[in-house]
Amino acid sequence: MVTQITSFGRSGLYDWMMQRISAIVLALYSVFIIGYLVLNPDLTYEQWSGLFETTWMRIFSLMALLSVGIHSWIGLWSVSTDYIKATGVRFLFQAVCGLAMFVYIVWGIQVLWGL
């Protein structure tokens, strides 16, 4: 039996809820970005840069970035616990995925907030 040590949440229900909430955030972000691009066909760099300079857009982008991390971790954890039976290989896979997501999130925060 697989233990919950590397799971994102405290229970399967919590993971399920986080998966659904992160999916909603990602859907809203995608709809907004696509809508913005469609409604501004002659988009310039200044307009695009101006959009991402606003605090609300940075927060929305940060929420989307964190949602990608949460959503992908829960999905990859579920797949790895279902299909990778060897504990060492599964742990290595999860460690590599976790490290990659951590690096991407830190990098994304630096890009968004200019840290």
Instruction: Point out the annotated binding site.
Output: 71, 83
Binding annotation for a ubiquinone: 83
Provide DSSP, 24-44: HHHHHHHHHHHHHHHH-TT--
Angstrom distance (rounded) from CA 60 to CA 30: 11
Are 104 and 57 within 8 A, CB to CB?
Answer: no
The binding site for heme comprises 71
101 to 29, 68, 73: CA distances (angstroms) = 19, 9, 8
| Alpha-carbon gap, residue 20 to 18, rounded angstroms | 5
